[in-house]
């Protein structure tokens, strides 16, 4: 089973700042099948990025993903008020699919 470790656990930033979230895998993620999700309180997760760097439909271009192998990054440029949420990475390249423990971006 691939274990995903996200860091930092919490990021305290202000609107307009840049957020950089890391996701490290215990072994290489097949075909860069790495996704990022956003979850707000009381809501289901929403797909932001798939294939490590491809934005899902309707996702603003201030969200970007990068990385390969075992190290992946989600960057959010110019944080908007609606971006303060919890973010999860997930690998779906090998079973069982696994999630990171989550990273919270909150308002400083």
Partner 1 sequence: QVQLVQSGAEVKKPGASVKVSCKASGYTFTSYGIGWVRQAPGQGLEWMGWISAYNGNTNYVQKFHGRVTMTTDTSTSTAYMEVRSLRSDDTAMYYCTTVAYTTGCDYWGQGTLVTVSS
User: Which of 18, 97, 106, 107 is close enough to bind partner 1 by CB under 8 A?
Assistant: 97
Q: Is 73 in the site for partner 1 (CB under 8 A)?
A: no
Contacts of 51 (CB under 8 A, 6+ apart): 31, 32, 33, 34, 35
Instruction: Between 17 and 64, name the residue whose CB sits nearer to partner 1.
Output: 64
DSSP state of 76: E
Q: Is 41 in the site for partner 1 (CB under 8 A)?
A: no
d(C-alpha 63, C-alpha 77), whole Å? 7
d(C-alpha 5, C-alpha 58), whole Å? 27
Q: Is 28 in the site for partner 1 (CB under 8 A)?
A: no
**Residues of the shown chain interacting with partner 1 in the complex, contacts defined by CB under 8 A:** 33, 35, 37, 39, 44-47, 50-51, 54, 56, 88, 90, 92, 95-102
């Amino acid at each position: 089973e691939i274990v995903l470790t996200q860091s930092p656990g919490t990021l305290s930033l202000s609107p307009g700042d840049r957020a950089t979230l890391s996701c490290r895998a215990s072994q290489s993620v097949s075909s860069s099948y790495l996704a990022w999700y956003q979850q707000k309180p009381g809501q289901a997760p929403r797909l932001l990025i798939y294939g490590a760097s491809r934005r899902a439909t309707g996702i603003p271009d201030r969200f970007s993903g990068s990385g390969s192998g075992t190290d992946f990054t989600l960057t959010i440029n110019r944080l908007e008020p609606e971006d303060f949420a919890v973010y999860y990475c997930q690998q779906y390249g090998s079973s069982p699919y696994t999630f990171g423990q989550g990273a919270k971006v909150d308002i400083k």
